[in-house]
Amino acid sequence: MIEIKDLHKSYKMGSNSLHVLKGINFTAEAGELVAIMGSSGSGKSTLLNILGMLDGADSGEYILDGVPIKDLTETKAAQYRNKFLGFVFQSFNLINYKSALENVALPLYYQKVARKERQEKALNYLDRVGLKEWATHLPSELSGGQKQRVAIARAMAAEPKVLLADEPTGALDSTTSYEVMDLIQKINDEGNTILVVTHEEDIAHMCKRIVHLKDGVIVEDKKIKQVRAEQYV
């Protein structure tokens, strides 16, 4: 599903150049649930941004679902993001003046799905994250965990090939974190490919594979026995 070969990325900081990714090689099959770990500055967020086409690599190959991702124009990147990727952010990034339902429907709007169908689909996804009753509420009326569940529903609504979660539990307490991980595990159980960036060990162990990044290279890549989050909820 994801194939990365010898990926390099550096940032210019004035006259200095900061080499963040120093040749990453990585593959993920369909249906995998991968945790990307590393301390801050290890390059894990940069990697996720490149995977999410929010940023471009300097060199190396990136193939997503058989499509080589390179030389993207803004418009093309927008189309690919919409078609291939779902994003879950640490700070939820819901649009605060739109209701939960409208937030979930937004990627469908950019897919040019008709209004009625959009509403139905969005409601269906809200139902799957257990927030059907909260459809008309604004984000400010939801708890942190609920917001992240809305964000996950929004990421899933576009039916992406890969779900990218950047510290999805970073802003949540541990109970709520496990609820969110439980939801992510269930989505993965349905066969969706998910990448989770985290620096929390317990969250990482709820995935099926852990990739450790340090100083811009992968230092460890191991399959693990998944800890189900359900038992803590």
Partner 1 sequence: MFDRDIWQEIFHTLRNNKLRTFLTGFSVGWAIFILVMLLASVNGMQNGFTNQFNDDATNSIFIRPGTTAKAYAGFEAGRRIQFKNDDVEYIRRSFPDDIEYLSARYYSRTSARYKSETGSYPIQAVHPEFQMIEKTIVINGRYFNEADLTNKSKVAVIGRKVAEDLFKKEDPVGKFVEFNGSLFRIVGVFIDEGDDNAERRIYAPIGTFQRIYGNTNNISAIALTYNPSYDLPKALEFSRRLEDIMKRRHKISPEDQAGINVWNYAEAFNDISSFSAVLNTISIGVGFLILIAGIVGIGNIMVFTIKERTKEIGVRKALGAMPKQIINLVLLESTFITTLSGFIGLIFAWIILSLIGPNINTPAFSNPSVSLSTVITATIILIVAGVLAGLIPAIKAANVKPIVALSDK
Chain contacts with partner 1 (rule: CB under 8 A): 49, 52, 54-55, 74-75, 78-79, 81-83, 87, 89-91, 93, 95, 97, 106-107, 109-111, 115, 154, 158
- Of 5 and 83, the one with the shorter C-beta distance to partner 1 is 83
Q: How far apart are CA 25 and CA 5, in angstroms?
A: 5
Rounded least distance, CB 225 to partner 1, Å: 32
Rounded least distance, CB 205 to partner 1, Å: 24
- Of 153 and 210, the one with the shorter C-beta distance to partner 1 is 153
- Of 160 and 216, the one with the shorter C-beta distance to partner 1 is 160
- Of 151 and 210, the one with the shorter C-beta distance to partner 1 is 151
Whole-angstrom distance between the N-terminal and C-terminal Cα of the chain?
31
Question: What is the DSSP annotation of 176-200?
Answer: HHHHHHHHHHHHHHTT-EEEEE---
Angle at 94 between CA 78 and CA 186, to 5 degrees: 85
- Of 21 and 210, the one with the shorter C-beta distance to partner 1 is 21
Place of tokens 């595990």: 185
Q: How far apart are CA 164 and CA 29, in angstroms?
A: 14
Q: Six-digit token pair at 81?
A: 């993001």
Rounded least distance, CB 179 to partner 1, Å: 21
- Of 24 and 113, the one with the shorter C-beta distance to partner 1 is 113
Rounded least distance, CB 59 to partner 1, Å: 19
Rounded least distance, CB 2 to partner 1, Å: 18
Using CA atoms, how far residue 77 sits from 28, 123, 142, in Å, is: 21, 27, 31
Q: How far apart are CA 80 and CA 131, in angstroms?
A: 28
Using CA atoms, how far residue 178 sits from 119, 129, 132, in Å, is: 29, 14, 20
Rounded least distance, CB 227 to partner 1, Å: 27
